[in-house]
Amino acid sequence: MREPVDVLLVDDSAAMRALLRELLAACDDIRVVGEAADPYEARDRIKALNPAVIVLDVEMPRMNGLQFLENLMRLRPTPVVMFSSLTARGAQTTLQAFALGAVEVLQKPSGTTDAELAAAADALARAIRTASGSKPRMRSAPPVAPDKFAGRIATASRFCLLGASTGGTEALREVLADWRLRDVAVLIVQHIPPAFSASFAERLDRNSPLFVRHAVDGQALQAGHAYVAPGGRHMRLIRSGTGFALRLDDTAPVNRHRPSVDVLFASAVSAARSCCGAALLTGMGDDGARGLAELRAAGVPTVAQDEATSVVWGMPGAAVRLDAADAVLPLGAIAEHMAASAERSRSSSARAGRYSETRIPQ
């Protein structure tokens, strides 16, 4: 049997620390090895106990949790699960925690019924298990926001697909920083709660030369735009006249997720000739792996993020095992690879257009 995951609890409330211990007591594979009432105590406990995962509050005396998280990732990267009531009230706080290196961000239970506490215990245990297998690292600072592409906005005839989960909020920011994707539409499924997806799209928009939008049902695709699936809704690609549009729905979760990467990828198979590429980025589980395999079989260039640069090599690893990826690349090379695929697609389309013109009778 595997050794239990050693966990340090950091929260200024003794009652909350006691509740966390109780919530985790039934998990044979998780062991609470220590507690701290603030980041200064936590610093000493980390040195003495070397925990595998830290469960961290946001609002604490002397130093808040976000500042401590930033210092921790710079000096001693350790998997962190943020567990706070503040994260439920502020999407920006949640996204900042992800940007600083938190593996997962969870809401403290708002009630004390058996059902509410059981749900909180299950979510916290799953997050700790995911974090224990992750590779925390100090996040790079966001680049200076680039100017948006000022060219003519055209209906998109070609598109790229991106899927991600754990660690994906920052991975997607890096991919979308590449201005060479401006000639296509980019469709994104990130596993994220409904309360945070609109703010996530806005955050990506501030750091990308593309226009990043929170997807709307029936929205026509435009070149130079990226579309983020709303949390809690599947996003599919559909044909609309001579172009493409988005269809959002509330059908049952797939692979326990809604939105699901597999749903998006499968919807694009029928339009494979217009798909310039699909990439499966860091994430827990296997959502998107089968869809990526379908796209590859249909002739779409496919990419999986490599293990070394993934926070969790679950989804891309599953794709590799299915032989669903043409290429397995570090995160920093994925945007360039997809942009090159888009350029090859554009050149092929242009050549095909010129050839067709020479064959039309006068």
Q: Which residues are catalytic?
A: 165, 191, 287
Question: b/e map of 278-304 (b: 16 or more CB within 10 Å)?
Answer: bbbbbbbbbbbbbbbbbbbeeebbbbb
State how far the Cα of 18 lies from the Cα of 264, in Å rounded to an integer.
42
Burial classification of residue 210, based on how many CB atoms lie within 10 Å of its CB (0-12 exposed, 13-18 middle, 19 or more buried): buried
Place of tokens 């926001």: 145
List Cβ neighbours of 209 (8 Å cut-off, separation of 6 or more): 146, 147, 148, 149, 177, 178, 179, 182
- Distance (Å) of CA 291 to CA 70, 153, 200: 36, 30, 24
End-to-end CA distance of the chain: 77
* Token representation of residue 22: 């109780």
Phi-psi domain of 241 (left: phi exceeds 0; alpha: psi -120 through 50; beta: other): left
Cβ contact 69:56 at 8 Å:
yes
